[in-house]
Chain A
Amino acid sequence: MSQSYDRGIVESFGRWREFSAGMWAWIFHKLTGWILVGYLFTHIAVLSTAIEPGTIAAAGDGEFYTSTLQGLEELLIVRFLEVGLLAVAVFHIMNGIRLLFVDLGIGLTSQDKSFYASLVLTGAITVASIPTFLAGVL
């Protein structure tokens, strides 16, 4: 049976200096989760405007879809936002794998180290992906 303890109000960010690695992992996982679910709705909305079923956008050879997506990709800000989205997604995946292990009771004693590993891997994958994401606009 799981135990719980009184951790106070976590959202009291005035206590941030007292936060442990596990607390930061929890905050970052929640933050990246909010961003990802927000993006999911945005993603479907953007695709819908480009290919709204039953309208002129969906008719013909899909030229409107192609020009909408390629038009967005010409914007530098979109490319930077995509790099940000990648960082958010990679962290959520890495820390998610860590959480699955924690739930299985594996590596509990090194859960702080696995959080730092998640951060390092996220940073490395994001930095390595920047040239691909910015190709053609810089």
Chain B
Amino acid sequence: MAEHYSSFNRGTWRWFLQRVTAVFLIGALAFHFVMLHFVNHAASITFAGTEARMGGILYFTLMMTFLVTAAFHGINGVYNALINMGLKGTQKKVVAAILVVAGIALIVQGTRVAIAMSPMF
């Protein structure tokens, strides 16, 4: 039997959510790249085009879900990496608080940008 090693504490909600968001992000990130580099060439992007895409409820919802899941997956990944590198005690608590604030700020600002791009609001 191959020896199993994971830097995560298996069974915790963060371990589970990291994988659930990973599955979603595989599709969402690939879709985002294809949409904005191949279907629509990045150099040809205009506000009118962005507004048209963000005006669709499905596309808007997808982008908002993408923002939240990517923020969680990325920030939780950074936290795991730091724990893996030996972060513990008070430092761990301080870093966790900073990362939560950074994550919330990212989601709030991302949401403001998404709303500004959408004619629905």
- Which A residues lie at the B interface, using CB under 8 A? 2-5, 7, 10-11, 30, 33-34, 36-37, 40-41, 44, 47-48, 51-53, 58, 61-63, 65-66, 69-70, 73-74, 82, 86, 89, 93, 96-97, 99-100, 103, 108-109, 111, 129, 132-133, 135-137
A113 to B118, CA, bound (A): 45
Which residues of A have CB within 8 Å of B5? 2-5, 7
Does the CB pair B85–A96 fall under 8 Å?
A: no
Which residues of A have CB within 8 Å of B116? 51-53, 58
Min C-beta distance of A75 to chain B, whole Å: 10
Q: Which of A2, A11, A44, A111 contacts B113 (CB 8 A)?
A: A44
- The total of Cβ contacts below 8 Å across the A-B interface reads 109
Q: A33-B74, A40-B74, A135-B41 are in contact. Are A11 and B85 (CB under 8 A)?
A: yes
Min C-beta distance of B80 to chain A, whole Å: 9
Measured CB to CB, the nearest residue on chain A to B51 is A62
Does the CB pair B106–A40 fall under 8 Å?
A: yes
Min C-beta distance of B54 to chain A, whole Å: 11
- Which B residues lie at the A interface, using CB under 8 A? 2-6, 10, 19, 22-23, 25-26, 29-30, 33, 37-38, 41-48, 50-51, 70-71, 74-75, 77-78, 81, 84-85, 102, 106, 109-110, 112-113, 115-117
Does the CB pair A65–B43 fall under 8 Å?
A: no
Q: A53-B115, A89-B33, A93-B30 are in contact. Are A2 and B6 (CB under 8 A)?
A: yes
A45 to B30, CA, bound (A): 21
27 A-B pairs whose Cβ atoms sit less than 8 Å apart in the complex: A2-B4, A2-B6, A3-B3, A5-B3, A5-B5, A30-B81, A37-B74, A40-B70, A44-B110, A48-B112, A53-B116, A61-B47, A62-B47, A65-B50, A66-B45, A66-B48, A70-B43, A73-B45, A82-B37, A86-B33, A86-B37, A93-B30, A100-B23, A109-B2, A129-B37, A132-B38, A137-B43
Q: Which of A33, A58, A129, A132 contacts B81 (CB 8 A)?
A: A33
